[in-house]
Chains A and B, each alone.
Chain A
Amino acid sequence: QKEVEQNSGPLSVPEGAIASLNCTYSDRGSQSFFWYRQYSGKSPELIMSIYSNGDKEDGRFTAQLNKASQYVSLLIRDSQPSDSATYLCAVNLPLDYKLSFGAGTTVTVRA
C-alpha cells in the first residue's frame, strides 16, 4: 500500500466551479499535512499546511483533515484558469521531517 494516495485525475472543472481534491495516508502516526501546487516544468509551491482535525481556510483554498479516517482534502473555490496545475498531497512521516508525496492530481480549469 502506498503511503500517500490521491485521486488519480485528471480533474477538469469549469471556471468559477469548486475543485475537490482528495488524499489518504497509511501511517496513522502522521502529524503534518501539506498541499503543494506544481505548474508544468516548475518546482512545487506550498499552498496549505494543516495539523489539526477540521477545516483551514486561506483565500479560495480550504484544507480539511480527518485523522480518524486518515483523509486530507483540498477545495479550490471559484476556480480560475491560473489554478490549472498538478496538486501534490504530502505527509510528514512520524519521527522525522521527511515528506511522503502522493502521485499528484492534475487540475485543468476550463475558461
Chain B
Amino acid sequence: GAVVSQHPSWVICKSGTSVKIECRSLDFQATTMFWYRQFPKQSLMLMATSNEGSKATYEQGVEKDKFLINHASLTLSTLTVTSAHPEDSSFYICSARDMTGNEQFFGPGTRLTVL
C-alpha cells in the first residue's frame, strides 16, 4: 500500500516552455500533497503544500505564479512549471499524506532539464 506515482519520470524542454508534472496516490486518498525540489547533493526543499479543493500554500521564496499547483481530487495533484529556464532544472518530487496518518509517502520524482 501507500504508493505514489509521478509522471513523467523525466522531461527535457526548451527554455520558455511550460511543463506539467502529475502526482497520483494510487491506493489511498490524500487530502494533502507536498511538492519538493532537490538539487544535486542537497537535501529536499519544500516548495508548497497542496490541499484538495483549495489553493496551495507556498514556502517563502517560491514564486506561485511560476509554479502552478492544482489539487483537483483526493488522488491527483499537478505542478506546472511555467516559462521554464535552465535554473529550474532540478529533481521535483511529490509526496502524499494519508488521510488517517502522519506519514508522507514520496513519488519516484521527475527529473526536469531545461535547455
Contact = CB atoms under 8 A, between A and B. Distances in A.
Interface of A: 31-32, 34, 36, 42-46, 49, 51, 88, 92, 96-99, 101-104
Interface string B25-53: 00000001010000000111010010000
Interface of A, helix, strand, loop or mixed by DSSP: loop
A70 to B, nearest CB: 18
A45 B97 CA distance: 14
Interface of B, helix, strand, loop or mixed by DSSP: strand
Contacts, number: 45
B60 interface: no
13 contacts: A32-B102, A42-B108, A42-B109, A43-B106, A43-B107, A44-B93, A92-B102, A97-B32, A97-B49, A97-B104, A98-B46, A102-B43, A103-B42
A44 to B, nearest CB: 5
B58 interface: no
Contacts of B91: 43
Nearest to B49: A98
Interface string B99-111: 0001111111100
Closest 6 CB pairs of A and B: A43-B109, A43-B106, A32-B102, A43-B93, A103-B43, A44-B106
A34 B103 contact: yes
Contacts of B42: 103
Given A46-B103, A97-B102, 10 more contacts: A32-B102, A34-B103, A42-B108, A42-B109, A44-B44, A88-B43, A96-B49, A97-B104, A98-B46, A99-B34
A97 B97 contact: yes
Nearest to A100: B46
Interface string B78-110: 000000000000010100010000111111110
Contacts of A51: 102
Contacts of B103: 34, 46, 49
